[in-house]
Structure 1
Protein backbone atom coordinates (compact mmCIF):
# COMPACT_ATOMS: atom_id res chain seq x y z
CA UNK A 1 0.00 0.00 0.00
CA UNK A 2 1.61 3.34 -1.01
CA UNK A 3 2.15 6.01 1.61
CA UNK A 4 -0.18 8.95 1.45
CA UNK A 5 1.21 12.48 1.26
CA UNK A 6 0.68 14.80 4.15
CA UNK A 7 -1.70 17.70 4.00
CA UNK A 8 -0.41 21.27 4.12
CA UNK A 9 -1.42 21.62 7.76
CA UNK A 10 0.32 18.39 8.72
CA UNK A 11 3.44 19.37 6.79
CA UNK A 12 3.51 22.73 8.53
CA UNK A 13 3.30 21.06 11.93
CA UNK A 14 6.02 18.58 10.93
CA UNK A 15 8.40 21.30 9.77
CA UNK A 16 7.78 23.35 12.91
CA UNK A 17 8.46 20.31 15.06
CA UNK A 18 11.69 19.51 13.20
CA UNK A 19 12.80 23.14 13.37
CA UNK A 20 12.11 23.25 17.12
CA UNK A 21 14.10 20.08 17.72
CA UNK A 22 17.03 21.38 15.67
CA UNK A 23 17.03 24.66 17.61
CA UNK A 24 17.00 22.81 20.95
CA UNK A 25 19.79 20.50 19.82
CA UNK A 26 21.89 23.40 18.53
CA UNK A 27 21.38 25.32 21.76
CA UNK A 28 22.41 22.31 23.81
CA UNK A 29 25.59 21.80 21.76
CA UNK A 30 26.51 25.49 21.99
CA UNK A 31 25.98 25.56 25.76
CA UNK A 32 28.15 22.47 26.17
CA UNK A 33 30.81 24.11 24.00
CA UNK A 34 30.86 27.30 26.10
CA UNK A 35 31.17 25.27 29.29
CA UNK A 36 33.92 23.04 27.90
CA UNK A 37 36.14 25.25 25.76
CA UNK A 38 35.64 28.85 26.88
CA UNK A 39 36.03 30.82 30.09
CA UNK A 40 32.55 32.32 29.84
CA UNK A 41 31.62 30.71 33.14
CA UNK A 42 34.27 31.30 35.79
CA UNK A 43 35.02 28.53 38.27
CA UNK A 44 34.22 29.18 41.90
CA UNK A 45 37.44 29.56 43.93
CA UNK A 46 37.13 27.30 46.94
CA UNK A 47 39.52 27.78 49.84
CA UNK A 48 41.48 25.21 51.81
CA UNK A 49 43.09 24.72 55.19
CA UNK A 50 46.84 24.73 55.57
CA UNK A 51 48.39 21.25 55.35
CA UNK A 52 44.97 19.65 54.72
CA UNK A 53 45.76 15.98 54.06
CA UNK A 54 42.54 15.58 52.07
CA UNK A 55 44.14 17.40 49.13
CA UNK A 56 47.75 16.26 49.37
CA UNK A 57 47.51 13.05 47.31
CA UNK A 58 50.15 12.56 44.58
CA UNK A 59 49.52 13.97 41.12
CA UNK A 60 49.90 11.14 38.58
CA UNK A 61 50.14 13.36 35.51
CA UNK A 62 47.68 14.77 32.96
CA UNK A 63 44.46 13.02 32.00
CA UNK A 64 46.07 11.46 28.94
CA UNK A 65 48.29 9.36 31.20
CA UNK A 66 45.28 7.84 32.99
CA UNK A 67 44.35 4.17 32.62
CA UNK A 68 41.10 5.42 31.03
CA UNK A 69 42.22 8.46 29.01
CA UNK A 70 39.62 10.90 27.67
CA UNK A 71 40.24 9.83 24.07
CA UNK A 72 39.39 6.21 24.89
CA UNK A 73 36.38 7.14 27.01
CA UNK A 74 34.87 9.49 24.42
CA UNK A 75 35.51 7.03 21.60
CA UNK A 76 33.71 4.22 23.45
CA UNK A 77 30.87 6.45 24.66
CA UNK A 78 30.26 7.78 21.15
CA UNK A 79 31.16 4.79 18.99
CA UNK A 80 29.83 1.76 20.86
CA UNK A 81 26.18 2.93 21.12
CA UNK A 82 26.18 4.06 17.49
CA UNK A 83 27.52 0.70 16.32
CA UNK A 84 25.32 -1.42 18.58
CA UNK A 85 22.06 0.43 17.88
CA UNK A 86 22.68 0.55 14.12
CA UNK A 87 23.49 -3.17 13.91
CA UNK A 88 20.57 -4.18 16.14
CA UNK A 89 18.04 -2.08 14.23
CA UNK A 90 19.34 -3.42 10.91
CA UNK A 91 19.08 -7.04 12.06
CA UNK A 92 15.59 -6.54 13.48
CA UNK A 93 14.47 -4.85 10.29
CA UNK A 94 15.88 -7.60 8.07
CA UNK A 95 14.21 -10.27 10.21
CA UNK A 96 10.86 -8.59 9.79
CA UNK A 97 11.59 -7.88 6.11
CA UNK A 98 11.86 -11.58 5.39
CA UNK A 99 8.71 -12.41 7.34
CA UNK A 100 5.21 -12.59 5.88
CA UNK A 101 4.10 -9.60 7.92
CA UNK A 102 6.22 -7.28 5.81
CA UNK A 103 4.13 -7.96 2.71
CA UNK A 104 1.06 -6.60 4.48
CA UNK A 105 2.83 -3.50 5.79
CA UNK A 106 3.89 -0.15 4.41
CA UNK A 107 7.60 -0.05 3.68
CA UNK A 108 8.01 3.72 3.96
CA UNK A 109 6.60 6.49 6.04
CA UNK A 110 5.85 9.86 4.51
CA UNK A 111 7.51 12.92 5.97
CA UNK A 112 6.23 15.26 3.28
CA UNK A 113 5.34 15.28 -0.40
CA UNK A 114 8.97 14.95 -1.44
CA UNK A 115 10.60 12.87 1.25
CA UNK A 116 10.11 9.30 2.44
CA UNK A 117 11.98 7.63 5.28
CA UNK A 118 12.51 3.95 5.68
CA UNK A 119 11.34 2.74 9.13
CA UNK A 120 14.87 1.44 9.78
CA UNK A 121 16.37 4.89 9.22
CA UNK A 122 13.62 6.59 11.19
CA UNK A 123 14.04 4.42 14.32
CA UNK A 124 17.85 4.47 14.18
CA UNK A 125 18.00 8.25 13.89
CA UNK A 126 15.44 8.64 16.65
CA UNK A 127 17.26 6.47 19.19
CA UNK A 128 20.71 7.82 18.32
CA UNK A 129 19.44 11.39 18.26
CA UNK A 130 18.01 11.07 21.76
CA UNK A 131 21.22 9.41 22.93
CA UNK A 132 23.36 12.22 21.50
CA UNK A 133 21.14 14.84 23.11
CA UNK A 134 21.57 13.03 26.42
CA UNK A 135 25.36 13.06 26.08
CA UNK A 136 25.44 16.83 25.71
CA UNK A 137 22.93 17.19 28.54
CA UNK A 138 25.12 15.13 30.86
CA UNK A 139 28.10 17.27 29.87
CA UNK A 140 26.18 20.46 30.68
CA UNK A 141 24.99 19.19 34.07
CA UNK A 142 28.49 18.06 35.02
CA UNK A 143 30.20 21.26 33.90
CA UNK A 144 27.60 23.37 35.67
CA UNK A 145 28.21 21.48 38.89
CA UNK A 146 31.98 21.83 38.55
CA UNK A 147 31.80 25.56 37.86
CA UNK A 148 29.39 26.29 40.71
CA UNK A 149 31.08 24.21 43.41
CA UNK A 150 34.76 24.48 42.46
CA UNK A 151 35.41 21.35 44.49
CA UNK A 152 39.10 20.56 44.95
CA UNK A 153 40.72 17.39 43.66
CA UNK A 154 42.57 15.03 46.03
CA UNK A 155 45.88 16.21 44.49
CA UNK A 156 45.04 19.93 44.63
CA UNK A 157 47.74 21.02 47.08
CA UNK A 158 50.33 18.99 45.13
CA UNK A 159 49.79 21.10 42.00
CA UNK A 160 48.89 24.28 43.90
CA UNK A 161 52.28 24.41 45.65
CA UNK A 162 51.28 27.05 48.19
CA UNK A 163 53.98 29.05 49.98
CA UNK A 164 52.97 28.20 53.53
CA UNK A 165 55.51 30.57 55.04
CA UNK A 166 54.22 33.56 53.09
CA UNK A 167 50.65 32.58 53.84
CA UNK A 168 51.34 32.52 57.56
CA UNK A 169 50.46 28.87 58.00
CA UNK A 170 52.03 28.50 61.42
CA UNK A 171 48.79 26.76 62.40
CA UNK A 172 47.18 24.02 60.32
CA UNK A 173 43.70 25.39 60.98
CA UNK A 174 44.34 28.59 59.04
CA UNK A 175 41.90 28.90 56.12
CA UNK A 176 43.25 30.18 52.80
CA UNK A 177 40.61 31.56 50.45
CA UNK A 178 42.40 33.79 47.92
CA UNK A 179 43.38 32.43 44.52
CA UNK A 180 46.89 33.94 44.60
CA UNK A 181 47.88 31.41 47.26
CA UNK A 182 48.94 28.91 44.58
CA UNK A 183 52.26 29.12 42.77
CA UNK A 184 51.96 26.06 40.50
CA UNK A 185 50.87 25.64 36.89
CA UNK A 186 47.61 27.52 36.35
CA UNK A 187 46.13 24.95 33.95
CA UNK A 188 46.70 22.12 36.42
CA UNK A 189 45.25 24.23 39.23
CA UNK A 190 42.14 25.07 37.21
CA UNK A 191 41.63 21.39 36.35
CA UNK A 192 42.07 20.48 40.01
CA UNK A 193 39.21 22.85 40.89
CA UNK A 194 36.72 21.05 38.61
CA UNK A 195 36.10 17.60 40.05
CA UNK A 196 32.53 17.58 41.39
CA UNK A 197 30.75 15.75 39.89
CA UNK A 198 32.99 13.37 37.93
CA UNK A 199 32.40 13.76 34.20
CA UNK A 200 33.97 10.39 33.39
CA UNK A 201 31.67 8.60 35.83
CA UNK A 202 28.58 10.42 34.55
CA UNK A 203 29.26 9.79 30.85
CA UNK A 204 30.22 6.15 31.32
CA UNK A 205 27.18 5.22 33.40
CA UNK A 206 24.86 7.15 31.06
CA UNK A 207 26.11 5.28 28.01
CA UNK A 208 26.06 1.92 29.80
CA UNK A 209 22.54 2.34 31.20
CA UNK A 210 21.09 3.65 27.94
CA UNK A 211 22.51 0.68 26.00
CA UNK A 212 21.48 -1.80 28.69
CA UNK A 213 17.87 -0.60 28.58
CA UNK A 214 17.93 -0.54 24.78
CA UNK A 215 19.10 -4.14 24.53
CA UNK A 216 16.66 -5.30 27.21
CA UNK A 217 13.62 -3.57 25.71
CA UNK A 218 14.34 -4.09 22.02
CA UNK A 219 15.80 -7.58 21.57
CA UNK A 220 13.06 -10.13 22.14
CA UNK A 221 14.54 -13.09 20.24
CA UNK A 222 14.59 -16.58 21.70
CA UNK A 223 17.82 -17.65 23.33
CA UNK A 224 18.65 -14.16 24.64
CA UNK A 225 17.21 -14.61 28.12
CA UNK A 226 20.71 -14.94 29.58
CA UNK A 227 22.66 -13.00 26.95
CA UNK A 228 20.81 -9.73 27.55
CA UNK A 229 21.48 -9.49 31.31
CA UNK A 230 25.09 -10.57 30.79
CA UNK A 231 25.64 -7.81 28.23
CA UNK A 232 23.79 -5.23 30.33
CA UNK A 233 25.66 -6.07 33.52
CA UNK A 234 28.95 -6.10 31.61
CA UNK A 235 28.33 -2.56 30.40
CA UNK A 236 27.40 -1.40 33.90
CA UNK A 237 30.53 -3.09 35.28
CA UNK A 238 32.71 -1.13 32.84
CA UNK A 239 31.11 2.12 33.98
CA UNK A 240 31.64 1.15 37.62
CA UNK A 241 35.31 0.34 36.96
CA UNK A 242 35.73 3.72 35.30
CA UNK A 243 34.55 5.39 38.50
CA UNK A 244 36.82 3.21 40.61
CA UNK A 245 39.78 4.14 38.43
CA UNK A 246 39.11 7.84 39.03
CA UNK A 247 39.30 7.29 42.78
CA UNK A 248 42.29 4.94 42.61
CA UNK A 249 44.32 7.49 40.63
CA UNK A 250 43.40 10.26 43.10
CA UNK A 251 41.67 12.27 40.37
CA UNK A 252 38.28 12.34 42.10
CA UNK A 253 36.79 11.83 45.53
CA UNK A 254 34.19 9.14 46.19
CA UNK A 255 31.56 11.85 46.43
CA UNK A 256 32.49 13.12 42.96
CA UNK A 257 32.09 9.68 41.40
CA UNK A 258 28.80 8.94 43.19
CA UNK A 259 27.37 12.30 42.09
CA UNK A 260 28.42 11.54 38.50
CA UNK A 261 26.74 8.14 38.65
CA UNK A 262 23.52 9.74 39.92
CA UNK A 263 23.46 12.36 37.14
CA UNK A 264 24.14 9.84 34.36
CA UNK A 265 21.58 7.38 35.71
CA UNK A 266 18.89 10.03 36.13
CA UNK A 267 19.28 11.47 32.62
CA UNK A 268 19.42 8.04 30.94
CA UNK A 269 16.32 6.84 32.82
CA UNK A 270 14.38 10.02 32.02
CA UNK A 271 15.16 9.88 28.29
CA UNK A 272 14.38 6.18 27.97
CA UNK A 273 11.13 6.27 29.96
CA UNK A 274 9.71 9.67 29.01
CA UNK A 275 11.16 10.42 25.56
CA UNK A 276 11.58 7.15 23.67
CA UNK A 277 9.06 5.31 25.88
CA UNK A 278 11.24 2.26 26.57
CA UNK A 279 12.11 2.03 22.86
CA UNK A 280 8.59 0.99 22.00
CA UNK A 281 7.43 1.32 18.43
CA UNK A 282 6.87 -0.87 15.44
CA UNK A 283 9.68 -1.55 13.05
CA UNK A 284 7.18 -1.29 10.20
CA UNK A 285 3.94 0.55 9.86
CA UNK A 286 0.63 -1.24 10.06
CA UNK A 287 -1.52 -1.56 7.01
CA UNK A 288 -3.71 1.34 7.97
CA UNK A 289 -3.69 3.88 10.69
CA UNK A 290 -6.31 3.46 13.41
CA UNK A 291 -8.25 6.37 11.96
CA UNK A 292 -8.33 4.73 8.51
CA UNK A 293 -9.28 1.33 9.87
CA UNK A 294 -12.18 2.65 11.94
CA UNK A 295 -13.34 6.01 10.60
CA UNK A 296 -16.47 5.96 12.69
CA UNK A 297 -15.09 4.63 15.96
CA UNK A 298 -17.34 6.81 18.05
CA UNK A 299 -20.42 5.60 16.23
CA UNK A 300 -19.35 1.95 16.49
CA UNK A 301 -18.94 2.24 20.24
CA UNK A 302 -22.59 3.17 20.56
CA UNK A 303 -25.35 0.62 20.81
CA UNK A 304 -26.30 -0.80 17.42
CA UNK A 305 -29.57 -2.49 16.35
CA UNK A 306 -29.55 -4.90 13.43
CA UNK A 307 -32.15 -4.39 10.79
CA UNK A 308 -34.39 -7.30 9.66
CA UNK A 309 -32.53 -7.38 6.33
CA UNK A 310 -29.17 -7.79 8.07
CA UNK A 311 -30.55 -10.62 10.20
CA UNK A 312 -31.86 -12.38 7.11
CA UNK A 313 -28.52 -12.07 5.23
CA UNK A 314 -26.62 -13.36 8.26
CA UNK A 315 -28.91 -16.38 8.58
CA UNK A 316 -28.53 -17.19 4.87
CA UNK A 317 -24.73 -16.96 5.12
CA UNK A 318 -24.76 -19.30 8.12
CA UNK A 319 -26.90 -21.84 6.24
CA UNK A 320 -24.63 -21.67 3.18
CA UNK A 321 -21.54 -22.19 5.30
CA UNK A 322 -23.12 -25.21 7.01
CA UNK A 323 -24.02 -26.77 3.67
CA UNK A 324 -20.46 -26.40 2.32
CA UNK A 325 -18.80 -27.89 5.38
Structure 2
Protein backbone atom coordinates (compact mmCIF):
# COMPACT_ATOMS: atom_id res chain seq x y z
CA UNK A 1 0.00 0.00 0.00
CA UNK A 2 2.83 2.39 0.87
CA UNK A 3 4.49 1.73 -2.49
CA UNK A 4 1.24 2.36 -4.37
CA UNK A 5 0.62 5.59 -2.46
CA UNK A 6 4.18 6.62 -3.18
CA UNK A 7 3.69 5.96 -6.88
CA UNK A 8 0.49 8.00 -6.83
CA UNK A 9 2.28 10.94 -5.24
CA UNK A 10 5.07 10.63 -7.79
CA UNK A 11 2.54 10.74 -10.62
CA UNK A 12 0.93 13.92 -9.29
CA UNK A 13 4.36 15.46 -8.74
CA UNK A 14 5.35 14.48 -12.28
CA UNK A 15 2.21 16.12 -13.70
CA UNK A 16 2.89 19.32 -11.80
CA UNK A 17 6.49 19.38 -13.00
CA UNK A 18 5.31 19.14 -16.62
CA UNK A 19 2.87 22.01 -16.08
CA UNK A 20 5.64 24.09 -14.55
CA UNK A 21 7.90 23.26 -17.50
CA UNK A 22 5.35 24.65 -19.95
CA UNK A 23 5.09 27.78 -17.80
CA UNK A 24 8.87 28.23 -17.60
CA UNK A 25 9.25 30.42 -20.75
CA UNK A 26 6.79 32.95 -19.35
CA UNK A 27 8.51 32.91 -15.97
CA UNK A 28 11.98 33.44 -17.42
CA UNK A 29 10.90 36.22 -19.78
CA UNK A 30 9.01 38.01 -17.01
CA UNK A 31 12.12 38.00 -14.82
CA UNK A 32 14.96 38.74 -17.25
CA UNK A 33 13.34 39.33 -20.64
CA UNK A 34 13.08 42.58 -22.53
CA UNK A 35 10.77 43.06 -25.54
CA UNK A 36 12.37 43.69 -28.90
CA UNK A 37 12.98 47.42 -29.34
CA UNK A 38 11.67 48.70 -32.67
CA UNK A 39 11.31 52.19 -34.10
CA UNK A 40 8.30 53.92 -35.58
CA UNK A 41 7.29 56.01 -38.57
CA UNK A 42 6.39 59.63 -37.98
CA UNK A 43 3.27 59.24 -40.06
CA UNK A 44 2.05 56.10 -38.30
CA UNK A 45 -1.42 56.98 -37.05
CA UNK A 46 -2.00 53.54 -35.53
CA UNK A 47 0.19 54.29 -32.48
CA UNK A 48 -1.19 57.76 -31.66
CA UNK A 49 -4.23 56.74 -29.60
CA UNK A 50 -4.74 57.90 -25.99
CA UNK A 51 -4.17 55.74 -22.94
CA UNK A 52 -7.32 54.20 -21.50
CA UNK A 53 -8.01 51.83 -18.65
CA UNK A 54 -8.95 48.27 -19.51
CA UNK A 55 -12.64 47.41 -19.67
CA UNK A 56 -11.68 43.87 -18.67
CA UNK A 57 -8.58 43.85 -16.49
CA UNK A 58 -6.20 40.91 -16.33
CA UNK A 59 -7.22 40.02 -12.79
CA UNK A 60 -10.91 40.10 -13.71
CA UNK A 61 -10.30 37.96 -16.78
CA UNK A 62 -8.36 35.25 -14.97
CA UNK A 63 -10.54 35.20 -11.86
CA UNK A 64 -13.92 35.13 -13.62
CA UNK A 65 -12.88 32.58 -16.26
CA UNK A 66 -11.25 30.29 -13.70
CA UNK A 67 -14.25 30.39 -11.37
CA UNK A 68 -16.69 29.71 -14.21
CA UNK A 69 -14.61 26.79 -15.48
CA UNK A 70 -14.36 25.27 -12.01
CA UNK A 71 -18.10 25.58 -11.44
CA UNK A 72 -18.94 24.01 -14.81
CA UNK A 73 -16.50 21.12 -14.47
CA UNK A 74 -17.36 20.40 -10.83
CA UNK A 75 -21.09 20.47 -11.58
CA UNK A 76 -20.81 18.36 -14.73
CA UNK A 77 -18.71 15.64 -13.14
CA UNK A 78 -21.00 15.49 -10.13
CA UNK A 79 -23.97 15.02 -12.45
CA UNK A 80 -22.11 12.24 -14.28
CA UNK A 81 -21.52 10.20 -11.12
CA UNK A 82 -23.34 6.84 -11.36
CA UNK A 83 -26.33 6.88 -9.07
CA UNK A 84 -25.33 3.52 -7.57
CA UNK A 85 -21.97 4.89 -6.40
CA UNK A 86 -22.11 6.30 -2.89
CA UNK A 87 -19.90 7.17 0.06
CA UNK A 88 -16.13 6.95 -0.03
CA UNK A 89 -16.10 5.23 -3.40
CA UNK A 90 -17.99 8.12 -4.98
CA UNK A 91 -15.64 10.67 -3.43
CA UNK A 92 -12.57 8.88 -4.81
CA UNK A 93 -14.06 8.53 -8.25
CA UNK A 94 -15.20 12.15 -8.30
CA UNK A 95 -11.92 13.57 -6.99
CA UNK A 96 -9.70 11.60 -9.33
CA UNK A 97 -11.76 12.48 -12.40
CA UNK A 98 -11.67 16.17 -11.44
CA UNK A 99 -7.93 15.98 -10.99
CA UNK A 100 -7.35 14.56 -14.47
CA UNK A 101 -9.54 17.15 -16.18
CA UNK A 102 -8.14 20.11 -14.27
CA UNK A 103 -4.50 19.09 -14.71
CA UNK A 104 -5.10 18.83 -18.45
CA UNK A 105 -6.70 22.28 -18.45
CA UNK A 106 -3.78 23.68 -16.46
CA UNK A 107 -1.25 22.11 -18.84
CA UNK A 108 -2.88 23.73 -21.87
CA UNK A 109 -3.38 27.04 -20.06
CA UNK A 110 0.28 27.35 -19.08
CA UNK A 111 1.29 26.46 -22.62
CA UNK A 112 -1.02 29.16 -23.99
CA UNK A 113 0.39 31.79 -21.63
CA UNK A 114 3.98 30.87 -22.52
CA UNK A 115 3.32 30.96 -26.26
CA UNK A 116 1.77 34.41 -25.90
CA UNK A 117 4.68 35.66 -23.82
CA UNK A 118 7.30 34.42 -26.29
CA UNK A 119 5.49 36.16 -29.15
CA UNK A 120 5.20 39.43 -27.23
CA UNK A 121 8.87 39.60 -26.31
CA UNK A 122 10.11 38.40 -29.70
CA UNK A 123 8.05 40.68 -31.93
CA UNK A 124 7.92 43.80 -29.76
CA UNK A 125 5.07 45.38 -31.68
CA UNK A 126 4.09 48.87 -30.53
CA UNK A 127 0.68 49.25 -28.94
CA UNK A 128 -1.90 51.71 -30.35
CA UNK A 129 -1.21 54.05 -27.42
CA UNK A 130 2.58 53.76 -27.71
CA UNK A 131 3.38 57.45 -28.24
CA UNK A 132 1.14 58.55 -25.38
CA UNK A 133 2.73 56.02 -23.06
CA UNK A 134 6.34 56.29 -24.22
CA UNK A 135 6.49 60.07 -24.68
CA UNK A 136 9.65 59.98 -26.85
CA UNK A 137 12.20 62.75 -26.44
CA UNK A 138 11.87 63.78 -30.11
CA UNK A 139 9.01 65.15 -32.18
CA UNK A 140 8.01 64.50 -35.76
CA UNK A 141 7.54 68.17 -36.59
CA UNK A 142 9.31 69.01 -39.83
CA UNK A 143 10.07 65.31 -40.49
CA UNK A 144 8.85 63.22 -43.39
CA UNK A 145 5.87 60.94 -42.54
CA UNK A 146 7.81 57.97 -43.94
CA UNK A 147 10.92 58.67 -41.85
CA UNK A 148 11.70 55.74 -39.58
CA UNK A 149 12.74 56.86 -36.09
CA UNK A 150 15.05 54.49 -34.23
CA UNK A 151 17.22 56.76 -32.12
CA UNK A 152 14.89 57.94 -29.41
CA UNK A 153 14.43 57.60 -25.67
CA UNK A 154 11.13 57.18 -23.90
CA UNK A 155 10.77 59.84 -21.21
CA UNK A 156 8.26 57.57 -19.56
CA UNK A 157 9.70 54.13 -20.25
CA UNK A 158 7.24 51.27 -20.14
CA UNK A 159 8.16 47.94 -21.74
CA UNK A 160 4.50 46.94 -21.87
CA UNK A 161 4.00 49.52 -24.62
CA UNK A 162 6.05 47.23 -26.90
CA UNK A 163 4.04 44.06 -26.27
CA UNK A 164 1.05 44.43 -28.55
CA UNK A 165 1.44 41.23 -30.59
CA UNK A 166 -0.45 39.20 -29.86
CA UNK A 167 -3.25 39.86 -27.42
CA UNK A 168 -2.91 37.85 -24.22
CA UNK A 169 -6.49 38.62 -23.20
CA UNK A 170 -7.79 37.30 -26.53
CA UNK A 171 -5.60 34.20 -26.38
CA UNK A 172 -6.69 33.30 -22.84
CA UNK A 173 -10.35 34.03 -23.54
CA UNK A 174 -10.31 31.87 -26.67
CA UNK A 175 -8.47 29.05 -24.89
CA UNK A 176 -10.96 28.88 -22.04
CA UNK A 177 -13.98 29.20 -24.37
CA UNK A 178 -12.86 26.43 -26.73
CA UNK A 179 -11.71 24.15 -23.90
CA UNK A 180 -14.94 24.40 -21.93
CA UNK A 181 -17.05 24.03 -25.08
CA UNK A 182 -15.21 20.87 -26.14
CA UNK A 183 -15.34 19.61 -22.56
CA UNK A 184 -19.12 20.02 -22.39
CA UNK A 185 -19.54 18.42 -25.82
CA UNK A 186 -17.58 15.39 -24.69
CA UNK A 187 -18.75 14.99 -21.10
CA UNK A 188 -22.34 16.30 -20.99
CA UNK A 189 -24.27 13.98 -23.30
CA UNK A 190 -27.66 13.84 -21.59
CA UNK A 191 -30.42 14.59 -24.17
CA UNK A 192 -32.39 16.52 -21.55
CA UNK A 193 -29.52 19.00 -21.13
CA UNK A 194 -28.79 19.71 -24.79
CA UNK A 195 -30.12 23.28 -24.63
CA UNK A 196 -28.29 23.98 -21.36
CA UNK A 197 -25.08 22.69 -22.88
CA UNK A 198 -25.55 24.86 -25.96
CA UNK A 199 -26.31 27.88 -23.78
CA UNK A 200 -23.11 27.42 -21.76
CA UNK A 201 -21.06 26.95 -24.92
CA UNK A 202 -22.56 30.05 -26.50
CA UNK A 203 -22.00 32.07 -23.34
CA UNK A 204 -18.34 31.05 -23.29
CA UNK A 205 -17.84 32.30 -26.85
CA UNK A 206 -19.82 35.49 -26.20
CA UNK A 207 -17.61 36.36 -23.24
CA UNK A 208 -14.44 35.53 -25.18
CA UNK A 209 -15.47 37.67 -28.14
CA UNK A 210 -16.50 40.57 -25.89
CA UNK A 211 -13.17 40.44 -24.07
CA UNK A 212 -11.28 40.41 -27.36
CA UNK A 213 -13.21 43.34 -28.83
CA UNK A 214 -12.64 45.49 -25.75
CA UNK A 215 -8.89 45.22 -26.36
CA UNK A 216 -9.44 47.10 -29.62
CA UNK A 217 -11.83 49.71 -28.23
CA UNK A 218 -9.52 50.33 -25.25
CA UNK A 219 -6.60 50.94 -27.65
CA UNK A 220 -4.59 48.15 -26.09
CA UNK A 221 -4.15 46.12 -29.28
CA UNK A 222 -4.42 46.38 -33.03
CA UNK A 223 -7.21 44.32 -34.65
CA UNK A 224 -4.65 41.87 -36.08
CA UNK A 225 -3.23 41.28 -32.58
CA UNK A 226 -6.67 40.32 -31.34
CA UNK A 227 -7.36 38.07 -34.35
CA UNK A 228 -4.11 36.16 -33.95
CA UNK A 229 -4.68 35.85 -30.20
CA UNK A 230 -8.09 34.29 -30.75
CA UNK A 231 -6.68 31.83 -33.28
CA UNK A 232 -3.69 30.79 -31.17
CA UNK A 233 -5.73 30.40 -28.00
CA UNK A 234 -8.40 28.38 -29.77
CA UNK A 235 -5.84 26.12 -31.45
CA UNK A 236 -4.04 25.54 -28.15
CA UNK A 237 -7.28 24.42 -26.52
CA UNK A 238 -8.17 22.21 -29.48
CA UNK A 239 -4.77 20.51 -29.47
CA UNK A 240 -4.91 20.05 -25.69
CA UNK A 241 -8.31 18.36 -25.77
CA UNK A 242 -7.69 16.34 -28.94
CA UNK A 243 -4.14 15.17 -28.37
CA UNK A 244 -3.18 15.53 -24.71
CA UNK A 245 -6.63 14.64 -23.36
CA UNK A 246 -7.80 12.30 -26.15
CA UNK A 247 -11.17 14.11 -26.35
CA UNK A 248 -11.54 13.80 -22.55
CA UNK A 249 -12.59 10.16 -22.80
CA UNK A 250 -12.12 9.00 -19.23
CA UNK A 251 -12.69 5.70 -17.46
CA UNK A 252 -14.54 5.30 -14.19
CA UNK A 253 -11.49 6.46 -12.29
CA UNK A 254 -10.65 9.38 -14.54
CA UNK A 255 -7.88 7.66 -16.49
CA UNK A 256 -7.74 8.03 -20.24
CA UNK A 257 -9.51 5.27 -22.12
CA UNK A 258 -7.55 2.87 -24.24
CA UNK A 259 -6.82 3.72 -27.85
CA UNK A 260 -6.71 1.27 -30.69
CA UNK A 261 -2.99 1.82 -31.23
CA UNK A 262 -1.13 -0.75 -29.03
CA UNK A 263 1.78 1.62 -28.49
CA UNK A 264 -0.58 4.37 -27.32
CA UNK A 265 -2.30 1.89 -25.01
CA UNK A 266 1.02 0.99 -23.41
CA UNK A 267 1.87 4.63 -22.81
CA UNK A 268 -1.54 5.40 -21.33
CA UNK A 269 -1.45 2.34 -19.09
CA UNK A 270 2.03 3.20 -17.88
CA UNK A 271 1.04 6.80 -17.17
CA UNK A 272 -2.07 5.84 -15.17
CA UNK A 273 -1.07 2.50 -13.58
CA UNK A 274 -0.05 3.92 -10.21
CA UNK A 275 -3.17 6.04 -9.72
CA UNK A 276 -5.61 3.37 -10.92
CA UNK A 277 -4.00 0.65 -8.81
CA UNK A 278 -3.98 2.83 -5.71
CA UNK A 279 -7.72 3.45 -5.88
CA UNK A 280 -8.65 -0.10 -6.83
CA UNK A 281 -6.57 -1.60 -4.02
CA UNK A 282 -8.35 0.52 -1.44
CA UNK A 283 -11.73 -0.73 -2.68
CA UNK A 284 -10.82 -4.37 -2.12
| TM-score, structure 1 as length reference | 0.71
**Which residue of structure 1 lines up, in the alignment, with residue 157 of structure 2?**
186
Structure of greater Rg: 1
1:47 aligns with 2:20: no
Structure 2 unaligned residues grouped into runs of 5+: 259-284
Superposed CA deviations along residues 259-301 of structure 1, whole A, max 9, x for unmatched, are: 111111111001111122212123359xxx9xxxxxxxxxxxx
Structure with higher RCO (Cα < 8 A, 6+ apart): 2
1:252 aligns with 2:221: yes
Deviation at 1:13, TM superposition (A): 7.4
Q: Equivalent of 1:151, from 99, 114, 125?
A: 125
Q: Distance in 1 between matches of 2:25 and 2:253?
A: 36
Superposed CA deviations along residues 45-93 of structure 1, whole A, max 9, x for unmatched, are: 0110114211111211xxxx32111121010122211222112212221
How many residue pairs end up in the alignment?
A: 254
**Which residue of structure 2 lines up, in the alignment, with residue 23 of structure 1?**
17
Q: Which has the higher helix share?
A: 2
What is the correspondence of 1:1-325 to structure 2 with a 5 Å cutoff? 17-36=11-30, 38=31, 40-60=32-52, 65-93=53-81, 96=82, 98-99=83-84, 102=85, 107=89, 118-165=92-139, 170-178=143-151, 180-183=152-155, 185-187=156-158, 190-283=159-252
Superposed CA deviations along residues 218-248 of structure 1, whole A, max 9, x for unmatched, are: 1122322222122101111110111111011
The two structures, once aligned, show a CA RMSD in angstroms of 2.7
Runs of 4+ aligned structure 1 residues displaced above 4 Å come to 10-19
Q: Distance in 2 between matches of 1:131 and 1:284?
A: 18
Q: 1:73 to 1:175 in 2, by over 3 A?
A: same
Structure 1 unaligned residues grouped into runs of 5+: 109-116, 290-325
| TM-score, structure 2 as length reference | 0.80
